[in-house]
Structure 1
């Protein structure tokens, strides 16, 4: 049996790919960097903070065409300012948008 210290329901994967994001009620999307992804959540780097509870739409764009892009509806959990004046946005995935 494999043992690990992960207490989450889903394993978090480190990723490094583009992500587009926008508040759910907006047409103005921006591009950031997706940093982690799991079955329940996502984190990404943005140029501004977002309030916890904000509903957003994100599209994760993999670096290779082998993996298709994923569009999801998320809810912001927290925004943390980094030393490089970017914000790490952590969010829970509420649903995956169908094609």
Structure 2
């Protein structure tokens, strides 16, 4: 039996759904794909890189109508270029926007 000791405060869930996002000081809306989310962070695929420390607003749009969308304010931790030219953006969730 394999043993796994989770070191994170929140379990990361792998997901695949649409996201929209924008820099805090911009109205320009970008589109991407969310790849994982937890209670403390999110990672998503974007067509460009963003510098660490950048503040953003992200809207995670689930595939089904049972789960509501989530809008959060995030801070970029890192951008990692993928083999296909896209970027995986890892970010910390600073707060979740209320309805």
Distance of 1:75 and 1:15 partners within structure 2: 20
SS in structure 2 of the partner of residue 8 of structure 1: coil
Match of 2:85 in 1: 85
Match of 1:15 in 2: 15
Distance of 2:28 and 2:80 partners within structure 1: 22
Deviations 1:22-71 (A, max 9, x none): 10111001110000000000000000000000000000000000000000
Displacement over 2 Å in runs of 4+: none
Match of 2:36 in 1: 36
Q: How many residues align?
A: 97
Distance of 2:38 and 2:5 partners within structure 1: 16
* Unmatched tracts of structure 2, length 5 or more: none
CA deviation after TM superposition for structure 1 residue 5, in Å:
2.1
Distance of 1:5 and 1:48 partners within structure 2: 34
CA deviation after TM superposition for structure 1 residue 6, in Å:
1.7
Distance of 1:86 and 1:68 partners within structure 2: 27
Distance of 2:8 and 2:24 partners within structure 1: 27
Q: What is the Cα-based RMSD across aligned positions, in Å?
A: 0.8
Distance of 1:29 and 1:95 partners within structure 2: 19
Q: What TM-score comes out, normalization by structure 2 length?
A: 0.96
Distance of 2:4 and 2:70 partners within structure 1: 28
